[in-house]
Chains A and B, each alone.
Chain A
Amino acid sequence: MQDDVKINVVTLEDGKEYYEIKKLLLNDNEYLILSAVEGEDFAVRKLIKEEGQEDLFISKLDSEEEVKKVLKTFLDSFNI
């Protein structure tokens, strides 16, 4: 018997599809931890709301430090 889960998939600027592994709320920002559907790549992105726009947008992060913090928080959530 196949035990399935539903998961969101988004396409990033490199044209590849990524699973949304986790949405993280950190310092009032919402981040996505993404894992490539094909291969073993991963990415971290911020969800932003731009003024005057109805859509949400996926943005790269502003600094390496911000990426580190998000990844560290993600790992902490696994208690490892």
Chain B
Amino acid sequence: MESYDDLKRKAQLNEYLRNNTISEYGKEISKNTLSEANNLEAQSKIIEFAKKNVKCDGDQNIVYRPQQKRVSKIKMKSDILILIQKILSILAVLGIVGGIGMIANIGINNWEDHIISVDAEKKISTVMAGRSDGINADKGKEWYEVRRFVNKIIEQKSYDNSDELYMQLARIYTGLESVTSKDNPKLNDENENGYTPEQWIENIYDSLREKVLEDYGMEIGPQELMDFLNSIGKLPYDRDPYEVMLEYYNKYKTAIENQVRVNPNYVVLLPVEEVLEAEFGVVLD
């Protein structure tokens, strides 16, 4: 049941919408934009967005005095992914991208057309050029960059249904939230193995890094770890992290070796040369 404050907020919002402008924030938002975002929550987001980011009369500049803090790499990576999701949802409401309306709930419209505009040949050529010029001196980084391009290309080929892609993103998003949310009471609780979820993830990260280093001679980074964790789905914190790592590592390794794409968004353990050759017939010199 909606609270009095919610109802009051909606009434105020409706008043704004009847006027079709948000003069209070000094900026006009077009009738078209508002009518496209035919959802109260979406409209509310537009107002909040304008209020928060666009200058209006009386706003004061503030002195830039940054302070440095230390933050865990894993947390920062997941925060950035959540931030990207938030920005995508805002841009979807504003009609810039076709609609990852995860929060705004305004539907999916040609998501791939807007976001994934990767020209396979061009991207591969670019990476190959970088490789031959020695621009990407860091082998691990280069491998990761190419893998990311390949992932997107694979998605383009595999998904003709944007709802499917959306669902996959939603699953990734939800998975990350369950790991990182401060409201998650499990975050600091020890499970049967004596690990907190954070320690469990650190443990699986370390063992995965060692395994990839051993098998491929490459360093795995936080992003790859996130990909790996996403591939597991709901993280079984009650199990031994090393066993879980091996199980999923071997599952994907075997699947890839059999050329069966279990999860099209996940090719992290396959050397890029094999992906390019298998998927596109491109052979890197």
Contacts and interface: CB of A to CB of B under 8 A. Distances in A.
Contact of B68 (A7, A13, A64): A7
Given A55-B64, A63-B27, A3 B59 contact: no
A75 B88 CA distance: 8
Interface stretch (B47-55, B187-195, B247-255, B262-270): B47-55
A42 B94 contact: no
A53 B88 CA distance: 36
A13 B59 contact: yes
A27 to B, nearest CB: 17
A28 interface: no
Contacts of B73: 3-5
B202 interface: yes
A10 B65 contact: yes
Interface residues of B, number: 47
Given A59-B55, A60-B59, A61-B54, A68 B66 contact: no
B62 interface: yes
Contacts of A1: 202, 206
A47 B52 contact: no
Given A8-B68, A60-B54, A79 B94 contact: no
B86 interface: yes
B225 to A, nearest CB: 10
B82 interface: yes
Interface residues of A, number: 47
A24 interface: no
Interface in B71-87: 71-74, 76, 79-80, 82-84, 86-87
A63 B64 CA distance: 21
A7 B73 CA distance: 10
B55 A8 contact: no
A19 B87 CA distance: 15
B55 to A, nearest CB: 4
Interface in B11-62: 27, 29, 49-50, 52-56, 59-62
B76 to A, nearest CB: 6
A68 B94 contact: yes
Interface centre among B50, B70, B72, B83 (most CB of A within 10 A): B83
B137 interface: no
A21 B77 CA distance: 10
A45 B67 CA distance: 17
Interface string A38-62: 0011111101101000011111111
Nearest to B66: A8
Given A19-B79, A68-B94, A5 B61 contact: no
Nearest to A20: B66
Contacts of B49: 64, 67
Interface of A: 1-14, 19-21, 33, 35, 40-45, 47-48, 50, 55-64, 67-68, 71-72, 74-75, 78-80
20 contacts: A3-B74, A5-B72, A7-B69, A19-B76, A20-B66, A42-B87, A43-B52, A58-B61, A60-B54, A60-B55, A60-B59, A64-B50, A64-B94, A67-B49, A67-B53, A68-B94, A72-B96, A78-B84, A79-B152, A80-B152
